Structure 1
Amino acid sequence: MSLHAKLLDQLGQSIVRGDLAPGDPLPNADDWSAAHGVSRTVLREVIKVLAGKGMVEARPKVGTRIRQRSDWNFLDPDVLAWRYGATARFEDARSLFELRRAIEPMAVALAADRAGEAEVAQLEELYARMEHYVDDNERFAQADLAFHQAILRMTGNELFGSLAALTETAMLISFRLSDDNPYGQRPSLPIHKRICDCIARHDPSGARDALVELLDRAEADVSRSIAARRKSDG
């Protein structure tokens, strides 16, 4: 990871955690640069990125300050990752799945209506990879992610396609939050197969219902994992 990326990650997480509250000024540039071993140029570039995410603003004679949370772009993949970085609450998980439910059921219905033979074949191949790697969490997650991103592209709507990075972050967070699921990934395979089959036979309603069921199951797994971690932490 580059110095720029490391500093961006550190500062972004610090803001999201509340170490720096809305209205607070950013640390003195010279002190911050010296503490993190980066140049002022790198720091300025990081601040520009944070400003683009709505997290900070620079004003003449005032300096750079943290903006109100209502101004932040919570749909930005980095902000999503920082928000769910170290810990997560039930409320966080619910927000994450509310976001996915707002996007994916409609996308899968459109995919079922519009998918061509080549796209269906690609989705079936991705499902086969998930089935093959069902006991390998990392490789299963890669295939599962590709499966869901393929559905977004199959809508034929470029706006949905542009949501791939957003849903990627949301899914990776979901995987991380439920990686200790004692039931593993096998229970999700039949639902993924149903989604695939519904798309192949151009059944938008069936595909949407299966996708909602998949999200319900995934949210339950995440909530169960969060509860178990709370219990183990005492």
Structure 2
Amino acid sequence: MLLQNPRAKGSAGISLHAKLLDQLGQAIVRGELAPGDPLPNADDWSAAHGVSRTVLREVIKVLAGKGMVESRPKIGTRIRDRSDWNFLDPDVLAWRYGTTTHAGDARSLFELRRAIEPMAGSLAAERANKAEIAKLEQLYEKMELYVDDNDRFAEADLAFHQAILRMTGNELFGSLAALTETAMLISFRLSDDNPYGQRPSLPLHRRVCDCIARRDPDGTRNALIELLDLAEADVHRSLAARSKPRE
């Protein structure tokens, strides 16, 4: 399963703006353009990529909004220090994890998920209404149905975890759905060659459903922590297997 940039979903192609944004964003994240470096000459860059200066300016505005570049009079546009970047931005997450990922990167990703999802599950167990719980049950049933189809399972799994965020009744948690979507898609990509498949995670997803239905915040929190531990172990197993030299 390939990691898709969220902007490309549901479209037959990617606009010139989105394509240039991805190219420039990835170049910055990979270090091809280091902090303090100026952006290439606008005319040269526009000609090389077949886009207008207007499109380039729009892309620069987007990157500035993510904290990655800054423009100053008489100095031009330069790359900002990594400490200024918004690493929680879904695009920046996708660029950071889109090509190569190391064990330390995976650890950071799961630390982020553990900081959000178990607490959200606890609140969902306290606040979810019957209709929301029924919807979560339906999503779990889809996961059971598609457990041997990685792509369809991932779609249902993503919807399952995002539903829990919205079941908190807290709009701030709900707004984290885009962030967790990117984080989960990265997790799926890193573990899509897991030889054990998705079946080992079903009992824990079942327990999450049951704990929320029983109004058990602690049980929900613990089940989600175990689920994230299992997912992280799958990712590290996959990364270790990919790093071994082929015979």
TM above 0.5:
yes
1:84 aligns with 2:93: no
Q: Deviations over 1:169-199 (max 9, x none)?
A: 0000000000000000000000000000000
User: How far apart in 1 are the matches of 2:229 and 2:135?
Assistant: 25
Equivalent of 1:46, from 45, 53, 59?
59
Instruction: Report the TM-score when normalising by structure 2.
Output: 0.94
Report deviation, 1:232.
3.6
Q: Which residue of 2 aligns with 1:143?
A: 156
Q: Deviations over 1:31-56 (max 9, x none)?
A: 00000000000000000000000000
Q: Which residue of 1 aligns with 2:86?
A: 73
Stretches of 4+ moved more than 4 A in 1?
none
Instruction: Report the TM-score when normalising by structure 1.
Output: 0.99
User: How far apart in 2 are the matches of 1:115 and 1:170?
Assistant: 24
Equivalent of 1:227, from 240, 243, 246?
240
Structure 2: which amino acid aligns with 1:144?
D
Q: Which residue of 1 aligns with 2:28?
A: 15
How do 1:58-137 residues align onto structure 2 when only pairs under 5 Å count? 58-137=71-150
Q: Which residue of 1 aligns with 2:200?
A: 187
User: How far apart in 2 are the matches of 1:53 and 1:193?
Assistant: 38
SS of the equivalent of 1:65 reads strand
Q: Which residue of 2 aligns with 1:176?
A: 189
Q: Which residue of 2 aligns with 1:161?
A: 174
User: How far apart in 2 are the matches of 1:57 and 1:230?
Assistant: 37
Structure 2: which amino acid aligns with 1:225?
S
User: How far apart in 2 are the matches of 1:55 and 1:117?
Assistant: 43
Q: Which residue of 2 aligns with 1:209?
A: 222
Structure 2: which amino acid aligns with 1:22?
P
SS of the equivalent of 2:77 reads strand
SS of the equivalent of 2:70 reads strand
User: Could you say if the C-alpha distance between residues 42 and 233 of structure 1 is closer, same or farther in structure 2, counting changes exceeding 3 Å?
Assistant: farther
User: How far apart in 1 are the matches of 2:219 and 2:122?
Assistant: 8
Structure 2: which amino acid aligns with 1:76?
D
Identity %: 83
**Number of paired residues?**
234
User: How far apart in 2 are the matches of 1:233 and 1:46?
Assistant: 40
User: How far apart in 2 are the matches of 1:142 and 1:127?
Assistant: 11
User: How far apart in 1 are the matches of 2:105 and 2:28?
Assistant: 17
Structure 2: which amino acid aligns with 1:203?
D
User: How far apart in 2 are the matches of 1:58 and 1:77?
Assistant: 23
1:31 aligns with 2:47: no
Report deviation, 1:233.
6.0
User: How far apart in 1 are the matches of 2:188 and 2:216?
Assistant: 28
Structure 2: which amino acid aligns with 1:157?
N
User: How far apart in 2 are the matches of 1:208 and 1:73?
Assistant: 28
User: How far apart in 2 are the matches of 1:188 and 1:54?
Assistant: 37
Gaps of 5+ in 1: none
